Chains A and B, each alone.
Chain A
Amino acid sequence: MTRATLLQARNLQVRRGGTRVLDVPALDLRTGEVLALMGPNGAGKSTLMLTLAGLLPPSGGELHFRQNRLQSRADRNAFRRCMTMVFQDPLLFDATVAQNIGSGLKLRGVPAAERQPRVADWARRLGLGELLNRPAHQLSGGEAQRTALARAFVLGPEILFLDEPFSSLDAQAREGLIEDLGHILAETGTTAVISTHDQGEAARLAHRLAVMQEGRIVQLGGLREVMNHPEDPFVAAFVGMETLLKGQVVTCREGLISLRLGKGPSDLEVVALGEAQPGQTVLVGVRPEHVSLSLQTDNTSSARNAFPGAVTKVIPRGPFFKVELDCGFFLSAYVTAQSLSELDLHPGRQVVASFKATSVHLIRKEGLDTQL
């Protein structure tokens, strides 16, 4: 993606009561991209977002919008009319849906006659066409958040900030809204920043992903890159790489790495792709959706890694099930409801877990020996 940089942050810092709650040396937001911020509560996602939106003055650092530095209050005020933000709480006004959607336009002095068709258009696009005259306090959670999104999109923002917009919705409302938001973002090409602690939301909406921890961005990259190649155990755990095992490189030949799991002598060997130094200690990561389960070893399979093991736990996870296995090491796999019944998976059931060499991700980081 070689797109122009729309918003640029340099050495952004926020202090609160003497402690540094945000420290971002550099972050570029490119025109048309959707950047997801992920991290646990208190990682600084909201603080970063409010700072980028010009709603929270940073303690230090610079913001550049379209190559112009935002310095004076007038600069920031002008910038505020180029962006808008949707929060976790819909924060609707005590007025009708139509009045709410039109409120940003009204603040900009757009006459009522001009507002009306734009409001109606965005109400329709967010499925609120029938609710235009309904008072906001009578809306369901999903309808309220749709109203908040319509109120934002009707402004045609150059940047849309979405601060955990789905966190307070029930699963059904969330599902439909994520889908609609994805379509609208793609259609309008709106540049957006969305914070979430749900990797599924990020995966469905974002082009790039930044994982935050303690006020800092610990990894920033393309969505697949971060999801499949986390650089450290924290990111790995956070983006859903549920199996993380310590291993040691045994051999490395022609791009094939052979690893031994665990500390002592063991016969559990995992094959991965890439280059590594024999003797090196690494973390072996496997995403649960890359692990498949069967009743016996399938020789025709291209999966190089196959381990017999016993099911220890079956946990429902929405449309699929998470199955935890003991294969001499911990392994987590996602299966569909169909596979669950076909394989008759239950604690104690013996199965064979397999995954491709390409699905094995190695984390090589200084200090792993002492860390774990």
Chain B
Amino acid sequence: MDLIWEGLRKALELLLRLDPEVLGITLLSLKVSGIATLLSVVLGLGAAVLVALNEFPGKRLVIALMNTGMGLPPVVVGLFVTVLLWRNGPLGFLGILYTPAAIILAQAVIATPIIAGLGLAALQHLPPGLRLQILALGATRTQMVGLLLWEARLPLLAAIMAGFGGVISEVGASIMVGGNLKGSTRVLTTATVMETSRGNFDVAFALSFILLVLAFSVNAVLTHLQQRSRPR
């Protein structure tokens, strides 16, 4: 028990002191996962809209693949992205392996299917006639898509939260493609793993605590947006 109390005490101290290294790690985590989530929103919602609004042969297969993608193990993604970005790999010329950009790429690969799959379910859950009703009110196709997304905003924000939650807490891919390099690719999760393995439980606690607060804050903001937009 002493270990835990000591850890918590140290964690609080690190936080109150605004330790520059901890602060840097926190901001990098937020930035990397934030950008990855944004990319996934664009790609994932785009895919969800395309699949929801179009009929094509093999649609069920595509949906099944999207849903399978929601459970992609981060280490598998880490492996594939590493191979892709490897010096001799297809994207090796980019030279981004072991940089934050690589982590963003890997996290986007993890979050896109989550947002696409949950987003598609949200759109498919809208009343079947709504699309025709919106067109019958004189909407252009772009306006129609915008209104459909707006009508599904509650579950869509939930999809975004799930995507963000998935990547901010993910460690396998980040450590594989980022390398946990101090001052460059060290994020909250990879740092926690490292400090724990070194026996620095106090620092690990501090990092975990920040991770929880961060995840909570972002989701609190999104939840606020989600619930505010609904008329009562």
Contacts and interface: CB of A to CB of B under 8 A. Distances in A.
A136 B232 CA distance: 9
A135 interface: yes
Contacts of A85: 132-133, 136
A184 interface: no
Given A85-B132, A87-B133, A94-B230, A107 B138 contact: yes
B58 interface: no
Given A77-B140, A135-B232, A91 B130 contact: yes
Interface residues of A, number: 25
Nearest to B232: A135
Contact of A87 (B129, B138, B140): B129
A91 B133 contact: yes
A155 interface: yes
B132 A84 contact: no
A89 interface: yes
A77 B136 CA distance: 10
B99 to A, nearest CB: 43
Interface residues of B, number: 18
Central interface residue in A83, A107, A155, by most chain B CB within 10 Å: A107
Contacts, number: 51
A70 to B, nearest CB: 14
A155 B138 contact: yes
Contacts of A80: 135-136, 138
B231 A50 contact: no
A84 B137 contact: yes
Contact of A91 (B127, B140, B230, B231): B127
A136 to B, nearest CB: 8
27 contacts: A50-B132, A55-B132, A55-B135, A77-B140, A80-B135, A83-B136, A84-B137, A84-B138, A85-B133, A87-B129, A87-B132, A87-B133, A89-B127, A91-B127, A91-B129, A91-B130, A93-B150, A96-B231, A104-B137, A107-B138, A107-B139, A135-B230, A135-B231, A151-B137, A155-B137, A155-B138, A161-B136
Interface of A: 50, 53, 55, 77, 80-81, 83-85, 87, 89, 91, 93-96, 103-104, 107-108, 135-136, 151, 155, 161
Given A85-B132, A91-B133, A135-B230, 6 more contacts: A55-B135, A80-B138, A83-B136, A93-B147, A107-B138, A151-B137
